[in-house]
Structure 1
Amino acid sequence: MATKELKTYTLAEMKDRYIGKVGTKERDDYEYELRMDVLGKMIKAARQEQNLTQEELGKLVGVRKAQISKLENSANSATIDTIVKVFKALKAEINFNVKLENNFVKLV
């Protein structure tokens, strides 16, 4: 009895197939959500490293505990201003890179 060889796929191939090709709205939305999720996890880790509660961080930033919770669970509803305030309150350095065509513009 012959065994059938299984076809393997890369992660990129699976994303292209099930989410959409790079440059499509679906893929852009997916990549954006993924980055925002990582950003929220970074905020939570930095807060915990500083031994702050969500309520304490909220007071430092000038927002309610619920907003910190939302930010940590999905940063896509936050403004850049709020994110910068959170990292400043955490005494964390944050850098943004903006790519214009083939050139990077660094914002510190």
Structure 2
Amino acid sequence: MEIKKKKLKMMTLDQMKDKHIGEVGTKERDKYEFDLKLEVLGEMIRSARKERQLTQEQLGELVGVQKSQISKLERNAKNVTIETILKIFRALKANIKFSVEMKDGDFKVA
């Protein structure tokens, strides 16, 4: 019995995103990239907090929010204001830089 080997097509990560999410510039891809940046932001907050050896409760006290809000933010930074993000990073004594790019009337945050 002969076993046929299936040839796998190699794809880069960008090619996979183009195929399964949408190409750069499409609404679906822009939403994916934006959500990914927010997820990374939450992880950056968690990482900086731990590096400063603070609990979520301690960071919350520094910022003026409840521990549960810090926890929620670290898991999902979607519903947070820029003001709150800045307060958190100031409390963590960390620098943060925002880049806003206007492209064809739309705003892009980098």
Common topology (TM > 0.5): yes
SS in structure 1 of the partner of residue 54 of structure 2: coil
Inter-partner Cα distance in structure 2 for 1:51 and 1:7: 46
Aligned equivalents of 1:4, 1:69: Cα separation in 2: 46
* Gaps in structure 1 of 5+ consecutive residues: 102-108
Structure 1: how far apart are the matches of 2:90 and 2:5?
59
Alignment of 1:4-15 (within 5 A): 4-15=6-17
> Structure 2: which 5+ runs fail to align?
104-110
Q: How far is 1:3 from its partner?
A: 4.6
Residue by residue over 1:52-90, the C-alpha shift from the partner in whole angstroms, topping out at 9 and shown as x without a partner, is 110110011011111101110111111100000000000
Q: Report the equivalent of 2:52.
A: 50
Amino acid at match of 2:80: A
- Report the equivalent of 1:100: 102
The percent identity for this pair of structures is 58
The whole-number CA distance in structure 2 between the counterparts of 1:99 and 1:62 is: 31
1:64 aligns with 2:44: no
Q: Which residue of 2 aligns with 1:40?
A: 42
The alignment's C-alpha RMSD in Å is 1.4
